[in-house]
Amino acid sequence: MALAKLRDQSTVTLLLDLVDNPDWQAMAPWLCAAVCEIDPEHAAPEMLKRLESADKTMQPVFATAIGHLRYQPGATEIRKRLRAKASRAYATAALLRMNDEKTIAGLVDSLQAGMEWPDFLLVNNVIRGSRLAEVARTLLTKGDQAGWSGGWGRDRIELLETANHLGIAEANDALQKLADDTDARPAARWRSAIALLESGDLRYLQFLLDAIQPDKSEPAEEFGGNREAREAAIGALHRCAKRDPTVKLPILDSLHTMRLNPDKNPSLAYAAQNVIKDLTGFERYAEFDAWRAKQTSP
């Protein structure tokens, strides 16, 4: 055991020497990640020490490592060092991973004022990737209290999708209300139904099977466009069919109907055909029809 620990310490020392070598700067993010994985307790103060003297190129690297380690003593230094616009996103991501209250409060203000979409997506991806359920819950609660001012429509749905993915019951309830609201924006209903289906709720399966057909009503362009919305729905249906064999046949039937109308939307017909081939192994219409005729619903 002692020998293994000694080997780990030697490896960490070697990796830190490489981090400090300018010739290895391009590899620094991966080297730091390795150090944090091998010896997180030793890595945290080492990353902070380097952040204090790093140039603007390396500051985001060390801030990211500190954030992944959730090393609270590094929060003040991250705020102090990473102030340039190019590095603020890295600071926000690192502080979010540390569940930093000041950062969360600032995010609420920024979202209400209308945060730029790329910045919001970065925040949302950090919340989702690092499974920051409490951060998602806080932002949603504060947003609801503020009335989602500042163009929160699209932001709110993104956050709801993430929160639902992280198992927050309130987000699931909110998505159900949106999916059932016939007065809501079409794309809001689409995305809510997709998120619910992805989490295993089959009540919205038929809604999506009908909605993806080319002759149905179109989602609002502001939510990414009609083709993108249908592609997202097809992807969700594909994953659903793989997870649950009981719904495979109705999904295949709907996709087959879609590919029979390629003139209305060639790219979607092609996407439907790819899913059918993956689920059945058949690409030609006649082969699929012959196979389908032998199937019975489970």
Nearest to 139 by CA among 154, 123, 118: 123
Nearest to 253 by CA among 216, 288, 201, 214: 288
151 by DSSP, 3-state: which?
A: coil
Distance CA 140, CA 171 (A): 8
Distance CA 206, CA 211 (A): 8
Residues of the chain with pLDDT under 50: 1-6, 220-224, 298
pTM metric for this prediction: 0.72
What is the maximum span of the chain, computed from C-alpha positions, in angstroms?
70
Q: State the amino acid at position 80 in one-letter form.
A: K
- Which helix (H) or strand (E) is 294 found in, with range? none
Distance CA 132, CA 163 (A): 9
Could you read off the pLDDT of 28-62 as tens digits, one per residue?
A: 999 999 999 998 988 999 999 999 999 988 999 99
Nearest to 162 by CA among 96, 113, 237, 106: 96
DSSP string, 40-106: HHHHHHHHHHHHHH--TTTHHHHHHHHHHHT-GGGHHHHHHH--SHHHHHHHHHHHHHTT-HHHHHH
DSSP state of 218: P
The confidence score (pLDDT) of residue 124 equals 87
* Helices 2-19 and 28-38: angle between axes, nearest 10 degrees: 160
Nearest to 256 by CA among 209, 217, 207: 209
Torsion 18-21-27-33 (CA) sign: positive
- Which helix (H) or strand (E) is 153 found in, with range? helix 153-165
Cβ contact 82:59 at 8 Å:
yes
Distance CA 111, CA 100 (A): 17
